[in-house]
Amino acid sequence: MSKMGKVCLIYGESGSGKSASLRNFEASELGIFNISQKPMPFRKKLPVANVSDYEYIKAKLRENSRNCYVLDDIGLAMTFYLFNRCLEPGYGKFTQAAKDFYDLVQCAIRETSEDTITYFIMHVERSDDGMKLKAKTAGKMIDSQLTLESLFSIVLYAQTDGKRHWFNTQSDGVTTAKSPMEMFPEEIDNDLKAVDSAIREYYEMAPLGAAPKEKKSEGKSRANVETSSAVPGGGKA
């Protein structure tokens, strides 16, 4: 089994049940980085850090105080970065935006324990040729630098018909959904805690909420970050 953390991409239209899929987690089981800083769409209180800074998020992932993290609406971090640099000439800012996202995914994989899963939640857009529904980035200049879904082995597409919400786990030729063979049925309820349980069972990972195994050093120094008062439950996401 891989000794690296696992990552999962979830994408879909606004209102398709992406954030609502967190509803069955308990506060002690995960940490949420809320990029858009909007309220969660349910009454339950979960530990949320309202932050969009990549370096802060990476530092908290390296702390690895929990074995489940959610980056809700993480695509907005790219948008915020480019908004802040909109007056800068040239294309370097687009390359940097792609690299920053790539580095964040690699941090979640390589600098968390083998029993940690990090979920990246994003919106959807059509590809330039109109043939594919893909995770929304900050524009085609980003897409020319990075094929985002290639960074993930598990990509779930959130859908709704107005009455129920679900995840597609395999592509129908239009979406970029994918998952390992026999991990999921083709369509599942939008319950991210159930998704988390299925991933852990498939890869023989420690259960949700278990203390993360210590990650062996890979020659990289870990950032020391002060505890944030923005996150409930001991102040750690």
**Quick one: pLDDT at residue 215?**
60
List the Cα angle 159/161/165 in 5-degree steps. 50
Q: Considering all CA atoms of the chain, what is the largest pairwise distance in Å, rounded to the nearest integer?
A: 50
Torsion of CA 187, 126, 108, 154, to 10 degrees: 30
Q: Taking the model in full, what pTM does it have?
A: 0.86
Q: List, for residues 175-233, the tens digit of each pLDDT value.
A: 999 999 999 999 999 999 999 999 999 999 999 988 887 764 444 433 333 333 344 33
Residue type, position 196, single letter: D
* Sheet architecture: strand order including 187-189: 48-49, 31-34, 68-72, 117-122, 6-12, 154-160, 165-168, 187-189
**Quick one: pLDDT at residue 233?**
36
Positive or negative, the Cα torsion across 54, 60, 62, 64? Answer: negative
**Cross-strand bridge partners of residue 121:** 10
Q: List, for residues 80-104, the tens digit of each pLDDT value.
A: 887 787 778 887 888 888 889 999 9
Element (H, E) at 157: strand 154-160
CA distance 32 to 233: 12
**Quick one: pLDDT at residue 107?**
97
Q: List, for residues 22-64, the tens digit of each pLDDT value.
A: 999 999 999 999 998 999 999 999 999 999 999 999 999 999 9
State the chain's mean pLDDT as an integer. 87
Confidence of residue 139 (pLDDT cuts 50, 70, 90): low
DSSP H helical ranges for the chain: 54-63, 75-84, 92-110, 140-143, 192-203
**Quick one: pLDDT at residue 112?**
96
Q: Please name the residue that has the structure tokens 């063979």.
A: 181
Q: What's CA 231's distance to the chain center, in Å? A: 18
